[in-house]
Structure 1
Amino acid sequence: MANPARPPKRRSLWWIVHSWAGLKLSIFLTFILATGTLAVFAHEIDWLVTPAMRVAPQDAPRASWGTIAEAATRAAPDLRLTTIFAPIDPWFAVEAWVEPEKGAPGRVYVDPWTGEVTGQHGWANVHRFLRQVHRHLMLPTRIGIPIVCALALLLAASLITGVVTYKKWWRGFFRRPRGGDGRRLAGDLHRLGGLWSLWFVALISLTGIWYLVETLGGNAPVERVPEIGKRTMPTGPALDRLVEIAQRARPGLEIREIRFMEKEGVIFLGQDSAWLVRDRANAIAVDPADGRVTATLDGGDLTLHQRISEMADPLHFGTFGGLGTKIVWFVFGALMTALAVTGTMIYAMRLARTETGGGMRIAWCGMGVWGWVGVAAVVTALAMTPYAIGGAS
């Protein structure tokens, strides 16, 4: 007597949610994950394609901040010096931002050892493109940021449903992927990559949700520097004197950025004893007219709300540990991007056994109208790039 046909396996609600979250917006999600992964090394990519950013490290004292500021103003005499950034690594030049009365700012690069200008560059670069397209799709920030950050909810749903549907998942960290069948291999690789990136997906989801909370009005208050009136911005020895004043007031401050504010004076920002905070959390403002310290900000004095806000960027992009953590963040970012792709592949290969058509066609049909939404978002961001990347928003 013939055995009755086995009824089709019922999928749990958790699996349906996981499949929906990974498929419907897979095009949009892959684009955001890929651009975010590349953004980890955006400065390094600019370094590769911009010769003026490259310098040879030297075993010698570095040029003073005043010397660097003076060189930048000489290179762009008709523009206003607004900010100077210390090199992120020894082989990077100092970057100075100069601004016209109207239009986009420019960049002047200065050798940190010799104090000589190595070249100039416009506002648009790889870092600017990746930052704006990943953060808000080249759209106005009030529109683009909530759209992108909403994907953090999708990532969180994928994380939770993936763990629930993978029975005894803690045993799978060292399970070798099975071969011989494309669908089985893709599924095993998807589960293995998902397990090893659990912590990273959780981290990106949480920081992304925090950015969404900030855009909806939950942002932490930022300490303001008092206005002192319009001042002439110093360079050369005059700026060096202000640096000495700032260092005496905050001996532990490692200056990584100097802002020349028309109404607030000169502000020195950087890192001190507080860990996992942005440079702006540690700052000291000095009146260039008389050398008076007008404000001091210490990352150790932040409230819990402020501390969470300041931690978000270093954790989201992995910049807190230098090149080492950036490599780790890049690897796991690439793994997350691969998970978005393999999830779509698994869906297509599963249905290919029962439906006619190629895998790409099946996956596209499965996305439905959401596929068009993803394509529209990507195309819009790329189309707006020439208009948006030159701005200063």
Structure 2
Amino acid sequence: MYIKSIKTWAWVHKWSSLVCTLFMLLLCLTGLPLIFSHEISHLLGNEVEAPDLPATTKLASMDSILNNAKALYPDRVVQFVFRDIDEDKTWTVSLGKTATSEDDTKFVMLDARTANVLDEPKFNEGFMYVMFKLHVDLFAGFPGMLFLGFMGVLLIVAIISGVVLYAPFMRRLAFGEIRKDRAPKLKRLDTHNFLGVVTLVWALIVGLTGVINAWSDLVVKYWQFDQMSSMIAPYKGLPPPTHYASLQASVDAAQAREPDKRLGFIAFPGTTFSSPHHYGMFMRGDSPITSRLFKPVLIDAETAKLTDSRDLPWYLATLLISQPLHFGDYGGMTLKIIWLILDVITIVVLWTGLMLWWKKRKQHVPDIETKIRLNEAY
């Protein structure tokens, strides 16, 4: 029974590893620059900083921000207004052909205090954009995200099966021991197993958060069905508004509802995170955790009155927390360097595993039952 079980685990480990390894190598390689995305953008000169102004300078009206952005692209529809998590001096406005279109989106960055246009960043082109798209969906959109999510599941299966399969073979070896005096294939195997154990917890965390992020569109769609639909139920069947209230008045209404939070981003009527009748004001806290957790506040786009506000459900909160954890974006530069080292080690684990399989193809290798007998004799 024991031999049969081990043979099953060996089959699971072999094929789960082989199917996902090349894609995991791609994700590890593209993930390296993404860990340092902010730093690389700064080095490339892609980051624009707002000018220094007296600390007492008041913020510009959000209506001025909106009007100045729309003046550049009057034929476009405003989709979102957003800013980085640690940014207070700028707002970025995204404008699309329609409220839900993702093609040829234009971005306008404005000074939050003067409403002056600072830049028109190109988020959808350049080296970092290519790395991001390869890492997220292989330039295949939603099907690509689902596919990479499935590869992530296979990675988790390969890690678990590898621990179960190779634990009996490592019982008589000291932790970290590499049998350098034995055949080259044994040295490769020992190296593969040792580095695999070193990165075990990290690989499971990154693999699991990667799967969660890959299925983010499904999570958001479920939230729309589960929560958003009930929040906007009173507006069901009503025609879209013909005019919109002041954006600043709508922001003020959301801030009054959540005085201890700060505005993270605004979803305009008709976009993914709102309804045709609402501004979606997404508020967040100031701590490392609460700054990642948005609380939606729906404001009637025609009257600037509060419609509803609810805490995020557990599944959407899990998604938002997992996103920065996947790239080590919680603990500053120290954690990013740790993520870098572990990422490189994981690349070595994947590559040595692939080489072990490749070299075995043309060699006579004992089956798993023989290996177990030899191990017990040893």
The answer on whether the counterparts of 1:95 and 1:108 sit within 8 Å (CA) in structure 2 is yes
Within 5 Å, which residues of 2 pair with 1:181-200? 186-200=188-202
Distance in 1 of aligned mates of 2:215 and 2:117: 42
Is 2:13 the counterpart of 1:30? no
SS in 1 for 2:254: helix
Mark the CA change 1:219 to 1:117 in structure 2 (over 3 Å): closer, same or farther.
closer
Instruction: Give the aligned residue type for 1:18.
Output: H
Instruction: Give the aligned residue type for 1:34.
Output: L
Q: Which residue of 2 is the match for residue 150 of structure 1?
A: 150
Is 2:236 the counterpart of 1:201? no
SS in 2 for 1:285: strand
Q: Which moved more, 1:198-207 or 1:211-220?
A: 211-220
Distance in 1 of aligned mates of 2:217 and 2:330: 24
Q: Which residue of 1 is the match for residue 137 of structure 2?
A: 136
The one of 340, 354, 360 aligned to 2:350: 340
Within 5 Å, which residues of 2 pair with 1:151-230? 151-164=151-164, 165-167=166-168, 175=176, 186-210=188-212, 220-222=222-224, 223-224=227-228, 225-226=231-232, 227=235, 229-230=240-241
Structure having greater relative contact order (Cα 8 Å, sep ≥ 6): 1
The one of 66, 73, 78 aligned to 1:81: 78
- What is the CA distance between 1:255 and its match in structure 2? 1.3
Q: Which residue of 2 is the match for residue 95 of structure 1?
A: 92
Q: Which residue of 2 is the match for residue 241 of structure 1?
A: 249
Distance in 1 of aligned mates of 2:120 and 2:199: 40
Is 2:262 the counterpart of 1:254? yes
SS in 1 for 2:223: coil
The answer on whether the counterparts of 1:281 and 1:297 sit within 8 Å (CA) in structure 2 is no
Q: Which residue of 1 is the match for residue 310 of structure 2?
A: 297
Mark the CA change 1:49 to 1:270 in structure 2 (over 3 Å): closer, same or farther.
farther
SS in 2 for 1:190: helix
**TM-score under structure 1 normalisation?**
0.67
- What is the CA distance between 1:211 and its match in structure 2? 6.2
SS in 2 for 1:82: strand
- What is the CA distance between 1:257 and its match in structure 2? 0.7
Instruction: Give the aligned residue type for 2:133.
Output: Q
Instruction: Give the aligned residue type for 2:248.
Output: D
Distance in 1 of aligned mates of 2:218 and 2:121: 35
Q: Which moved more, 1:307-316 or 1:284-293?
A: 307-316
Distance in 2 of aligned mates of 1:347 and 1:241: 64
SS in 2 for 1:108: strand
The answer on whether the counterparts of 1:52 and 1:118 sit within 8 Å (CA) in structure 2 is no
- What is the CA distance between 1:155 and its match in structure 2? 0.9
Q: Deviations over 1:199-255 (max 9, x none)?
A: 222223334555687888997433215257325456xxx433332221111112221
- What is the CA distance between 1:116 and its match in structure 2? 2.8
- What is the CA distance between 1:147 and its match in structure 2? 1.9
Q: Which residue of 2 is the match for residue 374 of structure 1?
A: none
Q: Which moved more, 1:61-70 or 1:332-341?
A: 61-70
Distance in 1 of aligned mates of 2:59 and 2:184: 59
**TM-score under structure 2 normalisation?**
0.69
The answer on whether the counterparts of 1:86 and 1:94 sit within 8 Å (CA) in structure 2 is yes
- What is the CA distance between 1:284 and its match in structure 2? 0.9
- What is the CA distance between 1:150 and its match in structure 2? 1.4
Which 5+ residue runs of structure 2 have no aligned equivalent?
1-5, 271-275, 366-378
Distance in 1 of aligned mates of 2:177 and 2:61: 55
Query: Over the residues paired in the alignment, what is the CA RMSD in angstroms?
Result: 4.3
Q: Which residue of 1 is the match for residue 284 of structure 2?
A: 271
The answer on whether the counterparts of 1:111 and 1:118 sit within 8 Å (CA) in structure 2 is yes
Distance in 1 of aligned mates of 2:93 and 2:160: 44
The one of 273, 285, 288 aligned to 2:298: 285
Q: Which moved more, 1:144-153 or 1:221-230?
A: 221-230
Instruction: Give the aligned residue type for 2:345.
Output: L
- What is the CA distance between 1:17 and its match in structure 2? 4.1
Q: Which residue of 1 is the match for residue 370 of structure 2?
A: none
Q: Deviations over 1:144-167 (max 9, x none)?
A: 233211112321222112212034
Q: Which moved more, 1:55-64 or 1:115-124?
A: 55-64
The answer on whether the counterparts of 2:241 and 2:301 sit within 8 Å (CA) in structure 1 is no
